[in-house]
Structure 1
Amino acid sequence: MKASALLICLSVLLPLTATAQSLSDYQWKARLILVFTPDISDPLFVEQYGLLQQAAEELEERMIKIMLITPDGEHENTGIFLGESASRYFYDHFSAEPYQMELILVGLDSYEKYRARNTVTPPSVLLNLIDSMPMRQQEIQQGYNNKSQINQTESVLPTETGGGY
């Protein structure tokens, strides 16, 4: 697949991506999936990002933002990848290697929770890990960002029957 065609495909998914300059911009607001790639045509990156696209609804429910990062901030003019200074910050902060694809899950507390190198991680692995975290368990119990909880409360509301009330 040509790089330009890939950029067009990725641009459709702009709402999934984040453009913060540092971790503090998202601390206690969002979980992050950082996807470091040496090149946007890297087959592992293409497959990984495709899987994340397919899980967009589940990721959004868990307050996850995706950041796509290249070593030198290449492709920042697309609005999809982080720019040069932000890319450098994240590469340095997480000691990511510029020649390999890495996926890092960052929790609400801005600490690394999971890392995979040169492999594709199924979204179910990330979702299960997040769902096992104490803060996510609390969100589920409180019905916060949990569509199943919201739907349950809507279904128990009384309905007007028109018969003698």
Structure 2
Amino acid sequence: MATPSDSVHANLSQHEWEHRLLVVFAPAADHENLARQFEMWEGHADGFAERKLRIYTVTEGDAGQFRKQPGGDVRPLTRGSAQELRDRFDVATDPFAVILVGLDGTEKRRETVPLSIDDLFRTIDAMPMRRAEMQQDGGG
């Protein structure tokens, strides 16, 4: 099976110091927790942009997607990217997991249930780099 021409490779190092990442794992694309997760984040594009967030989703088999924000355009991942993400974060094919990766490329938070927008933003806003960004953006 050929890789679609609009596919993206899950090269997380390209995001270092540019974007925070959410990597969401689910056993299937129609998994209840996956649907709940995106419902919780829907309508918060401004908050995602302000916090420099990008989203990778990995589901059954080699399936995976990339998007800049909830509800945004979806691009498929290249073949093998899903497995690379599973290997990097040590996530098997059956559990649900949400992993927050900081600007430095390290894992900052891991949940096995959908992560609320308030908890997500509170976690990020408490990070030293984010606090510096807020201070700079506020002119302080």
Q: TM-score, normalised by structure 1?
A: 0.69
TM-aligned CA distance change 1:26 to 1:75, over 3 Å: closer
Moved more, 66-75 or 83-92: 66-75
SS in 2 for 1:98: coil
Moved more, 97-106 or 49-58: 49-58
Measured in 2, the distance between the counterparts of 1:133 and 1:110 equals: 13
- Unpaired segments ≥5 residues, structure 1: 1-17, 144-148, 151-165
Structure 2 equivalent of residue 46 of structure 1: 35
Q: Does 1:67 align with 2:61?
A: no
Runs of 4+ in 1 over 3 A off after TM superposition: 78-81
SS in 2 for 1:84: coil
SS in 1 for 2:17: coil
- CA contact 1:32–1:65 (8 Å) conserved in 2: yes
Give the C-alpha shift of residue 20 in structure 1. Answer: 4.2
Give the C-alpha shift of residue 72 in structure 1. Answer: 2.2
Structure 1 equivalent of residue 69 of structure 2: none
Give the C-alpha shift of residue 79 in structure 1. Answer: 4.5
Aligned residues: 126
Structure 1 equivalent of residue 78 of structure 2: 83
- CA contact 1:107–1:113 (8 Å) conserved in 2: yes
Structure 2 equivalent of residue 34 of structure 1: 23
TM-aligned CA distance change 1:127 to 1:75, over 3 Å: closer
Measured in 2, the distance between the counterparts of 1:35 and 1:19 equals: 16
Give the C-alpha shift of residue 82 in structure 1. Answer: 2.5
Q: From the CA coordinates, give the structure whose radius of gyration is larger.
A: 1
Structure 2 equivalent of residue 146 of structure 1: none
- Give percent identity, aligned residues only: 29
Measured in 1, the distance between the counterparts of 2:98 and 2:62 equals: 17
TM-aligned CA distance change 1:138 to 1:75, over 3 Å: closer
1:1-165 to structure 2, matched below 5 A, reads 19-74=8-63, 79-117=74-112, 119-143=113-137, 149=138
SS in 2 for 1:35: strand
For 1:95-138, what per-residue CA distance to the aligned partner results, in whole angstroms no more than 9, with x for missing partners?
01210111000000000000011x12101101001000000011
Moved more, 28-37 or 83-92: 83-92
Higher helix share: 1
- The alignment yields a C-alpha RMSD, in angstroms, of 2.1
